[in-house]
Amino acid sequence: MAKSSKPANPSENNTEKTLNWRDRLSALSNLPAFFRMVWQASPGLFIGNALVRLVRAAIPALTLYIGKLVIDEVVRLATGRPAGAEADTNYLWLLVGAEFALAILSTALGRLTSLLDGLLGDLVTNRTSVRLMEHAATLDLEQFEDATFYDKLERARRQTTGRSFLLSGVFNQAQEIISIGFLAAGLAVFNPWLLVLLLLAVTPAFIGDNYFNQQSYSLSRSWTPERRELDYLRFVGASDETAKEVKIFGLSDFLVDRFRTLSWQYYLKNRALSIRRAGWGTVLTAVGTAGYYGAYLWIVARAISGSISIGDLTFLAGSFRQLRASMEGILLQFSSLTQEAVYLQDLFDFFQIRPLIHSPTKPLRFPEKIRQGFVFEDVGFKYTNSHRWALRNLSFTLAPGEKLALVGENGAGKTTLVKLLARLYDPTEGRILLDGHDLRDYDLLDLRRNVSVIFQDYVRFKMSAGINIAVGDIDERTNQPRIVTSAERSLADSVIAKLEGGYEQQLGRSFGKGVELSGGEWQKVALARAYMRDAQVLILDEPTAALDARAEYEVFQRFARLTEGKTSVIISHRFSTVRMADRILVLEGGNLLEIGSHSELLEKDGRYAELFQLQARGYQ
């Protein structure tokens, strides 16, 4: 197979965002909102974690100081008593016991903080995931169809996991700062200049790490679309949903080649950045190490001169070493935390997205019984970033209880029309009236509860057969008689009767003991969803495309009887189905071409008659 053409360089299509210090400090403003989320997840775990870390913060300085006392006591016992005299070691063993107890306590508290971090992190992840799903449910369908929006969603989704790092990181920072306060106080007593030298020693590594974190963020952000493509290629290349087409059309080499090319490009960029980071990190860390040993030599010289005791030497050397490690950790982790806080902005940015389609301040309730029906007044609709009108100058009526069929070639605007009717979109121009009121004046949730839609690209939920039907009215998922009745109406009962687990049978092979249905069987299950909802308006968008002609005829005969008195809209390419409708609306290029009953349109001898005769000849 020929190699695919060279893909576009992502940097040519994506503006890399470089972070400066202002961006990083500004990102810290996300932390209060983040910790409100943490507090809401579990106030008890939050407080417990803080208290445990407060105790842990004092242990390093206390351990070093007890170590100093131990060494000074050992020196005193070894040099300060007469030859042959028995040493009084009670105080020494008391100090050793205290040091041992602190070591045990430090280990226990370390494990406890890890436990609390993990539990709190899991709760925050769960809460954030739920909040993201809830917010996504409020957004518009058209927003999900926009690539830029989907990049934001993808970045936000990545931030719902791994928040335990940011959580424990901030707690660790606070703990280390308190520890540094204790250690710094000890150093300052001997010589405050040691603190200045320490700060100068750790600054170069901090600056370098901060710079490379900025570069890493820029690379990660600029590659968001490509990472989504890589995830998609992984799915398409190894999935039961795509396996048939991949094998039949021999797509494996193409998919692997595309994945290999994209992933290699990212690897090269990331490798170059990693090599630079490692090299400069070594050099800058060496500068810090030189500063540490300069201070160490000064402390050793003071001990040799007798200005400080051996215990003081170990305390100062240990404190300086601990301070250096802690300050380096704080500065470097601060850089990482600001990085995480910047990433957190992606999550909060997503939460700031607001739907354009929503209920008015004082919404109307959906009528208990539709009286006048729907009126389309010069309706036009254009998709975002599209120069072509999907629908234009559309005016017609849909009477209460009427069955309207939509006919037209692919791309004529049929599905767009029913999405407008269900208010998944709002018209770009014109308006849709229901009983004399603009559709936008009604309560959105109430409207959608009264409109049941089964789309041609219905979802095959990897759940039980019963739940797959109950999604039509999920609040009634425990109403087994209603689920069974809905299955009977759509002829799905015969499908479920063959399943070993009946309505509890797992559908789809993604999970254990799941079974797969044929396309026609899935469509019958999906049709049952329309009957689950006691809606006044039913919309079927190519609902029987996978059914044979006999099954389709029976389904629509039942549909006509069961929806008596209800308003319904049917999209179908089969004219044997379409002719059952009270009226037929013919769309072409987004415009209303003809409307009338089957016989009226045949007499008119227009576009509908032409399409009908073409299909009829195909059956002869």
Helices and strands (DSSP H and E) totals, the chain: 23, 10
Per cent of the chain over pLDDT 70 is 87
Tell me how far CA of residue 328 lies from CA of 177, 294, 297, 338, in angstroms: 11, 17, 20, 15
Q: What is the 3-state secondary structure (H, E, C) of 381-396?
A: EECCCCCCEEEEEEEE
Q: How far apart are CA 357 and CA 340, in angstroms?
A: 32
State percent of the chain over pLDDT 90. 25
The stretch 293-298 carries a mean pLDDT of 75
Q: Does residue 18 carry a pLDDT above 60?
A: no
pLDDT in tens, 158-187: 776 656 677 888 888 888 888 888 777 777
pLDDT digits (tens, 9 = 90+) for 243-264: 767 776 677 888 888 888 888 8
Q: What's the pLDDT at 2?
A: 39
Q: Looking at the predicted structure, is the pLDDT value of residue 10 above 70?
A: no
For residue 421, give the nearest of 368, 362, 468, 376 by alpha carbon: 376
Task: Look at the block and give the residue holding tokens 């972070």.
Answer: 19
- Provide the CA 89 distance to its chain's centre, in angstroms: 63
In the 8-state DSSP scheme, what is residue 593?
E
**594 close to 608: Cβ distance less than 8 angstroms:** yes
More confident residue, 556 or 464: 464
The answer, yes or no, to whether residue 146 has pLDDT greater than 60, is: yes
pLDDT in tens, 560-611: 777 788 898 988 877 877 888 899 999 998 999 999 999 999 999 999 998 8
CB neighbours (10 Å) of residue 291?
20
Contacts of 143 (CB under 8 A, 6+ apart): 149, 353, 355, 356
Most confident of 131-145, 327-341, 483-497: 483-497
**Mean residue pLDDT across the chain:** 82
Helix or strand (DSSP H, E) at 404? strand 403-407
Q: Flag whether the pTM goes above 0.85.
A: no
Comparing C-alpha atoms, which of 268, 267, 251 is closest to residue 4?
Answer: 251
The confidence band for 1, taking pLDDT boundaries of 50, 70 and 90, is very low
